[in-house]
Amino acid sequence: MKIASVARALPQYRYSQQEIFEALAHHWRDKIANPAQLSRFHHRVGVDTRYLVMPFAGYVNLTRWGDANRVWLEKAEELGEEAIDLALKRAGMGRDCVSALLTVSVTGIASPSLDAHLANRMGLPATMRRTPIFGLGCVAGAAGIAQAADYVRAYPDRMAVLLSVELCSLTFQRNDLSIPNLISSGLFGDGAAAVVVAGDDVSAHGPEIVDTASSFYANTEDAMGWDISEEGFRIVLSAEVPLIIRAKLPGDVDAFLERNGLTRDDVGSWVLHTGGPKVLEAIADSLGLDRETCAASWDSLRDVGNLSSASVLLVLEEIMLNRRPAPGTWGVLAALGPGFCAQLVLLRW
């Protein structure tokens, strides 16, 4: 099983962090007691620019969750098609080669699901297996790769496409002045990414998927996620997240590597979810990784912000295209998300 290709698709509207801060400060000008606090949050999250699916003026009339969700589906189709086509092109494959399509998102919902809309829009095979996944949040990019790997393990002559579309700006809660919402307003952006995973009998030139592992941390469901109501998705983000990572992740990684006859010293490539500075620091510190080792993740955070499930896939794309390890190098792809949970993927380049 190999990752044949990865491709991103970003919206057309690109804003600096300062521009987004100024727009939100104006919106909250009569409500927020301490504008300097918002400024600190926005300028300490390590983000320089973000992409949004609409210009600032487009969000003014999105006062109802249903309206925002309709925009999500429209833009998800556009970005999804773009990402899938580029990933297929890079893999040297066509739309008719798609045997399975897995779609992940935590920023919008639809029934028929996004994969069905894309099947009609793109003329994808009617025999294609469809697997829509909602609710895994930031971990879903890595979890989706694991699910796609399971599919092609069973059908080695086939290939699967994983699509992540996260339009975080459409979940913005304009009346929520909680600390988590103020932080998330400075951290999350919009974007999509597609991954082509090929079975052993399909010609592909990407890293081999050697093993995968999931870890669920019991009784931590309040650490991260959504509080869903008639107003839409309200962010749940606990200060306990970095503590959970430091306490749990190193043991999970070591056990995962040990069952494959490896240690952390054997790993030469780390593909890490860009959860934010505190999350990245917790991952790196707990695993004994220096800043340079995690440079692709820090650079992605700076350039596009946190794209939830798509984040780790953008980091993977960057490494595959521009920072590819030497053949034979062991790699670990890791992401964390609501549950609280972790997903690990062992790669051999």
Looking at the structure, do residues 35 and 114 belong to the same domain, yes or no? yes
Of 198, 230, 249, the position where a domain reaches its end is 198
Looking at the structure, do residues 83 and 163 belong to the same domain, yes or no? yes
Q: Which of 138, 168, 294, 341 is catalytic?
A: 138
Least confident of 9-18, 152-161, 171-180, 266-275: 171-180
Higher pLDDT, 141 or 31: 141
**138 is known as an active-site residue:** yes
Looking at the structure, do residues 320 and 221 belong to the same domain, yes or no? yes
Of 141, 169, 198, the position where a domain reaches its end is 198
* Triad 51, 297, 236: Cα angle to 5°: 65
Of 175, 198, 221, the position where a domain reaches its end is 198
Against a cut of 0.85, is the pTM above it? yes
- What percentage of the chain reaches a pLDDT higher than 90? 78
CA distances from 74 to 37, 67, 119, 159, 215 (A): 35, 11, 14, 26, 34
- Which domain CATH number covers 186? 3.40.47.10
Please indicate, yes or no, if residue 203 is contained in any of the structural domains. Answer: no
Looking at the structure, do residues 157 and 43 belong to the same domain, yes or no? yes
| In contact, 225 and 163? CB cutoff 8 Å | no
Task: Look at residue 237 and tell me whether its pLDDT is greater than 80.
Answer: no
Q: Which domain holds residue 293?
A: 208-348
62 pLDDT band, cuts 50/70/90, is: confident
229 pLDDT band, cuts 50/70/90, is: confident
Looking at the structure, do residues 185 and 80 belong to the same domain, yes or no? yes
Looking at the structure, do residues 150 and 299 belong to the same domain, yes or no? no
| Overall domain count for the chain | 2
Please indicate, yes or no, if residue 219 is contained in any of the structural domains. Answer: yes
Looking at the structure, do residues 243 and 262 belong to the same domain, yes or no? yes
Looking at the structure, do residues 236 and 164 belong to the same domain, yes or no? no
Looking at the structure, do residues 186 and 235 belong to the same domain, yes or no? no
Task: Look at residue 312 and tell me whether its pLDDT is greater than 90.
Answer: yes
Please indicate, yes or no, if residue 75 is contained in any of the structural domains. Answer: yes
Looking at the structure, do residues 165 and 213 belong to the same domain, yes or no? no
- What percentage of the chain reaches a pLDDT higher than 70? 100
- Residues β-bridged to residue 342: 215, 336
